[in-house]
């Protein structure tokens, strides 16, 4: 009877733990084709939050990255010959494939205090709100989970439209967490340069160039297409893919394509 308190303790632990927290839970596995590394593979998830954890065992890609590459292949099959700019890439999976196979691929990060357009740590320094690219010079802008971190998205959409060639497109993901509810700002930049937080607890996502992470400034909904049209007068398509055979299944993995008329 002496060990009963210990047994009861562990029963309570198990009762309150979610399945995501159990390290002994069997992983989900699926065989298929990965568009990010362009080869047959196995996809595996040890965590129920597939958006960040349903990975290709060969390239480490996650569903939204595979969805972006799927759309590039399907809607812009000539992408290898196009002028491509990708902002804030995480150098794995889709970004590595673009860098490796596209003839004119430029990767940029934003470094405050560095001359715009200069090269820093192997990346071009670009602020999406004030790009240094010439008018109508880019075929494809690619951003993967970047637009939830900008303070002035309307200015970003205008700059992307300005620099796109006729027929060019912005292909991107951003978590549409509000879905059918209106998009809302979660942080604002004051005139004096300080940040006004609009959430009780500010939200941060991972940042490939900063251990501090990136502040979330927008909770987007499906009305993002209307926001883009109001900003630059260009229509946006929203592509939702649910294809387990391609490892494209998770929450918030819609791909948006804003294509400039020819």
Residue that has been written with the tokens 């972006």 in this structure: 68
Handedness of CA 230, 231, 236, 238 (dihedral sign): negative
Q: What is the mean pLDDT of the chain?
A: 91
If you average pLDDT over residues 69-74, what whole number do you get? Answer: 98
The residue assigned the tokens 């880019």 is: 138
Q: How confident is the model over 222-249, as pLDDT tens digits?
A: 999 999 999 999 999 999 999 999 999 9
pLDDT recorded at residue 152:
97
Q: List the structure tokens of 102.
A: 């596209």
d(CA 207, CA 186): 18
By the 8 A CB rule, do 63 and 87 touch? no
| pLDDT more than 70, % of the chain | 90
Q: Can you tell me whether residue 16 is helix, strand or coil?
A: helix
pLDDT of residue 17: 46
Q: Is the pLDDT of residue 173 over 70?
A: yes
Mean pLDDT of all residues in 63-72: 98
Confirm if 69 and 35 have CB atoms less than 8 A apart: yes
Cα separation, 113 vs 124, in Å, equals: 13
The per-residue pLDDT for 104 is 98
Confidence of residue 212 (pLDDT cuts 50, 70, 90): confident
Residue 87, SS3 per DSSP: strand
- 5 pLDDT more than 90: no
Of 93, 258, 255, 102, the closest CA to residue 176 belongs to: 255
* 102-158 per-position pLDDT tens digit: 999 999 999 989 999 999 999 999 999 999 999 999 999 999 999 999 999 999 999
Torsion over CA of 195, 208, 245 and 97, rounded to 10 degrees? 130
Say which residue the tokens 């007068």 belong to. Answer: 233
**Average pLDDT, stretch 245-256?**
98
Question: Domain spans of the chain?
Answer: 64-259
Residue among 34, 77, 54, 18 at smallest CA distance from 252: 54
**Lowest mean pLDDT, pick from 16-20, 97-101, 183-187, 234-238:** 16-20
Distance of CA 24 to the CA centre of its chain: 30
Report the CATH fold assignment for 64-259.
Rossmann fold (3.40.50)
Model confidence band, residue 2 (pLDDT cutoffs 50, 70, 90): very low
pLDDT band at 203, cuts 50/70/90? confident
């Amino acid at each position: 009877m002496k060990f009963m308190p210990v047994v009861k303790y562990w029963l309570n632990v198990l009762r309150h733990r979610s399945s995501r927290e159990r390290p002994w839970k069997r992983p989900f596995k699926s065989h298929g084709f990965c568009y990010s590394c362009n080869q047959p593979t196995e996809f595996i998830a040890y965590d129920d939050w597939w958006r960040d954890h349903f990975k290709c065992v060969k390239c480490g890609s996650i569903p939204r990255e595979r969805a972006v590459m799927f759309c590039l292949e399907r809607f812009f099959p000539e992408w290898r010959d196009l002028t491509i700019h990708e902002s804030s890439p995480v150098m794995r999976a889709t970004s590595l494939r673009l860098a490796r196979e596209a003839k004119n691929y430029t990767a940029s990060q934003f470094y405050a205090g560095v001359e715009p357009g200069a090269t820093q740590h192997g990346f071009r320094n670009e602020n999406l709100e004030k790009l240094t690219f010439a008018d109508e010079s880019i075929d494809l802008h690619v951003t993967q989970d970047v637009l939830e971190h900008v303070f002035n998205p309307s200015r970003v959409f205008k700059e992307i439209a300005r620099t796109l060639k006729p027929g060019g497109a912005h292909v991107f993901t951003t978590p549409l967490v509000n879905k059918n509810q209106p998009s809302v700002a979660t942080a604002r930049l004051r005139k004096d340069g300080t940040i006004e937080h609009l959430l009780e607890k500010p939200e941060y996502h991972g940042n490939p160039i900063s251990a501090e992470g990136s502040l979330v400034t927008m909770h987007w909904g499906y009305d993002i297409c209307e926001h883009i049209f109001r900003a630059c007068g260009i229509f946006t398509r929203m592509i939702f893919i649910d294809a387990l055979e391609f490892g494209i299944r998770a929450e918030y993995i819609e791909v948006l394509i804003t294509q400039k008329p020819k």
